[in-house]
Structures are given as C-alpha cells and as structure tokens.
C-alpha cells in the first residue's frame, strides 16, 4: 500500500526529524510554499539546487479546436507555474526505479 505525500505527512516527518511540533512544522512548510508562490508571482525563478526549479511560463495565444464540435477557436494567452527537475534528482529517481525492478 502506498502512502500519498501531502502537507500533513511532510509536517509529521519534519517534526519527527527535527524535534518540532507538527504545528511548527506546518508553519515552516506554509512559509516555504508562500515564499515560493510570492517569488513566482514577482516573475522570479525558485531554484532548489539538487532538486529542481520552479518558474512561470507564458503560453502565447493560439488557434485551437473544440474537441466536442470540431469548431476552430482562439485560445487566449496564459501563464502557468512549471517545475523542471534537476539532472541529479532525475538520476536518483531513475536509479531507484531500476534498483526496485531488479
């Protein structure tokens, strides 16, 4: 059975590893997430060395097709947060999956 990792789970693990209360751990996680969001909304990149980087990417307006009707339509430009894993992180994940499948 797999365990889904969410804020509550991370707060529990952080509190166990660093002798904090779950409430203190949750405040740390909330702070990190808020700072990441704030930096991204200011147009900054957030880079966590050895893990990856978060940034905002802009998608230009473009022609699209409504899948229900087949009708052509204009899709407005948009921005979205994206995450790009670092090479080291990708390699560690790849290694673990290869090791687990043996």
Tell me: do 32 and 65 sit in the same domain.
no
pLDDT at 33: 97
Please give the Cα distance from 54 to 39 (Å, whole number): 10
Q: Is residue 83 part of a domain?
A: yes
Tell me: do 58 and 94 sit in the same domain.
yes
Nearest one of 82, 17, 12, 92 to 51, comparing CA atoms: 92
Domain hosting 35: range is 1-44
Q: Is residue 49 part of a domain?
A: no
Mean pLDDT, to the nearest integer, of 48-62? 96
Tokens of 23: 């409430």
Tell me: do 58 and 101 sit in the same domain.
yes
Q: Which pTM value belongs to this model?
A: 0.77
Q: Is residue 77 part of a domain?
A: yes
Tell me: do 61 and 36 sit in the same domain.
no
Tell me: do 38 and 62 sit in the same domain.
no
* Domains: count for the chain: 2
Tell me: do 66 and 40 sit in the same domain.
no
Q: Please give the biggest Cα pair distance in the chain.
A: 59
Using the 8-state DSSP alphabet, how is residue 29 labeled? H
Tell me: do 99 and 58 sit in the same domain.
yes
Please give the Cα distance from 81 to 52 (Å, whole number): 13
The answer on pLDDT for 67 being more than 80 is yes
CA 36-20-46 angle, to 5 degrees, is 15
Please give the Cα distance from 14 to 27 (Å, whole number): 11
Q: Residue 60: helix, strand or coil by DSSP?
A: coil
pLDDT digits (tens, 9 = 90+) for 14-54: 999 999 999 999 999 999 999 999 999 999 999 999 999 99
Tell me: do 37 and 74 sit in the same domain.
no
């Amino acid at each position: 059975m797999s365990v889904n990792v969410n804020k509550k789970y991370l707060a529990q693990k952080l509190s166990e590893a660093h002798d904090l209360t779950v409430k203190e751990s949750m405040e740390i996680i909330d702070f990190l997430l808020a700072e990441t969001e704030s930096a991204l909304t200011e147009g900054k990149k957030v880079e966590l060395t050895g893990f990856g980087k978060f940034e905002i990417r802009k998608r230009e307006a473009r022609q699209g097709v409504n899948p229900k009707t087949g009708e052509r339509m204009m899709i407005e430009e948009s921005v979205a947060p994206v995450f790009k894993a670092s090479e080291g992180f990708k390699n560690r994940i790849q290694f673990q999956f290869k090791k687990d499948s043996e």
